Structure 1
Amino acid sequence: MCCSGFLKMIMFVFNGVIFLAGAAILGVGVWVKVNSDSFLGILNGVDGAPSGLSELVYVSYVLIGVGVVLVIIGFLGCCGAVKESRCMLLTFFSIVLVIFLIEVAGAVVLLVFQDVAQELLGELEDEVRKGIEVNYGKDEGLTSLWNATMEQFKCCGYKNYTDFDGSPFNEEHGVYPPTCCNASITTGVCNKNGASRSMIDGCFDKLLQLIEDNAVVVAAVALGIAALEIAAMVVSMVLYNNIGNKA
């Protein structure tokens, strides 16, 4: 009885951690989805964009899906231990085993995702910069999308302020978007002098940094959860056998 009670407590603690970690991954997935939509929207609208680019959008959905599943199995494991249900424990073990294998594969993909993303986004540079030169200030939808992206990421153009040279906005007003100038350096409108002195990073570099930071964090969290899941599977099977012996 003492051993069984200890195992139930261990099972409850393990699955409580898995439940909370699943909620954390779900939160990261939602955050990545919200913060990546604007820039990816621009890239997906570029003529000649590589077909693989659309797959970047799915990363956030994968994280959200994994988070939801972890929350469910964490709840299932806790209930199976408390209620001493062999059916629930066996179901829990099976689901966790499948999720464990998926997470290991996903962690490996995330670790190499940065290089893949950089290659895909690098192929788009000429097309995106041409789109800015031709349509920024003329196409209301593209202009609004770029403004929202630059404001959100605190960046300027695809590579830097020179992307806006010759654009309808630059030709008409003789200035650059406000985000291309550092407020501590330039006051008033953002002219060429202020933009060149500020040298705000382009959105390409900012997006790569976002991908890099989140890939490392998510991969580390996933591997940590995988270790907990191995322990939880072992405990669940021991508890499963003990319940069977009691019956």
Structure 2
Amino acid sequence: MCCSGFLKIMMFIFNGALFLAGAAILGVGIWATVDSSSMLGVLSHIDNAPPELAQLANVGYLLIAVGAILAIMGFLGCCGAITENKCMLLTFFIIVLLIFIAEVAGAIVVLVFKPLAEEALSGLNKNFVEAIKKEYGENNDFTSVLNNTMIQLDCCGYNNYTDFEGSPFQTSFNLFPETCCDEITPCNLKEAEKQKVRGCFNALVKLIEDNAVLLGGVALGIAALEIAAMVVSMVLYNSIGK
């Protein structure tokens, strides 16, 4: 009886954490979906973008789906443990197992197809620069999204200030965005060359590299939590009725 009570507490803790994680991911997904000024919104304005990267614009929907599934999992696990419902516990175990397998498969795919991702990114470079030269300063939506991205990442263009040469904005005002000169105005060619503000692609890569340890730790923590939840759910499942 004591062991069964301990397992119930463990299941409640595991699934409470899963439910909260699902709610958080769901919130981020909703924010990413409704916030058209986020960095992902830039991709929707780029012609001939690689299909793999163009799908990033829909990442908000993916986060909503993942968050909802985690929240349902947490609900099933908690209710199954409290009510000792074997059907709920078995459903919970199967869902967690499928997600764990999908995560492992996804990690393998990322490692195997890394060269293809690098090739897609190199293709995005040309398309992104072409979009800047064609639409920045003329397309209000694209201009607003890119401005917000550059402010958030403290960067200039995709590569650097040269991406804006020949754009409608640069042609009309003979100037560059203020972020290309560290907010120094007027941001003319001389100041842009002097400041040498990094491009947004390099800024994004640096951001990911700086947080790689944190992201890896979170991923390992989630995997460990899933394994522990599966073990506890199966032990509790087998102990019910004995």
CA contact under 8 A between 1:4 and 1:239: conserved in structure 2? yes
Distance 1:145 1:56 in 2: 15
Normalised TM-score (structure 1)? 0.80
- The 1:175/1:108 distance shift into structure 2, 3 A limit, reads same
Deviation, structure 1 residue 181: 0.9
Distance 1:225 1:237 in 2: 18
Moved more, 68-77 or 221-230: 221-230
Query: Which residue is 2:149 aligned to?
Result: 149
Cα displacement string for residues 5-31 of structure 1 (whole angstroms, at most 9, x for unaligned residues): 122122222222222333344455556
Cα displacement string for residues 166-217 of structure 1 (whole angstroms, at most 9, x for unaligned residues): 333223322111111113xx3x311112211221121222344456667765
CA contact under 8 A between 1:104 and 1:226: conserved in structure 2? no
Query: Which residue is 1:232 aligned to?
Result: 229
The root-mean-square deviation of aligned C-alpha atoms, in Å, is 3.1
Unpaired stretches in structure 1, ≥5 consecutive residues = none
CA contact under 8 A between 1:104 and 1:222: conserved in structure 2? no
- The 1:133/1:190 distance shift into structure 2, 3 A limit, reads same
Query: Which residue is 1:54 aligned to?
Result: 54
Cα displacement string for residues 62-120 of structure 1 (whole angstroms, at most 9, x for unaligned residues): 33322221121112111111111122212222222222212222344456787654432
Query: Which residue is 1:18 aligned to?
Result: 18
Moved more, 10-19 or 51-60: 51-60
CA contact under 8 A between 1:110 and 1:219: conserved in structure 2? no
Deviation, structure 1 residue 224: 2.1
Deviation, structure 1 residue 151: 2.7
Query: Which residue is 1:191 aligned to?
Result: 188
Query: Which residue is 1:4 aligned to?
Result: 4
CA contact under 8 A between 2:47 and 2:131: conserved in structure 1? no
CA contact under 8 A between 1:180 and 1:198: conserved in structure 2? yes
Q: Letter of the 1:12 partner, please give it.
A: F
Normalised TM-score (structure 2)? 0.81
Percent of residue pairs bearing the same amino acid type: 58
Q: Letter of the 1:189 partner, please give it.
A: P
- The 1:180/1:235 distance shift into structure 2, 3 A limit, reads same
Matched, 1:221 2:237: no
Q: Letter of the 2:129 partner, please give it.
A: R
Moved more, 172-181 or 213-222: 213-222
CA contact under 8 A between 1:93 and 1:237: conserved in structure 2? yes
Deviation, structure 1 residue 40: 4.2
Distance 2:35 2:198 in 1: 17
Higher relative contact order (CA 8 A, sep 6+): 1
Deviation, structure 1 residue 136: 2.9
Query: Which residue is 2:170 aligned to?
Result: 170
Query: Which residue is 1:127 aligned to?
Result: 127
Deviation, structure 1 residue 161: 0.6
Distance 1:25 1:119 in 2: 30
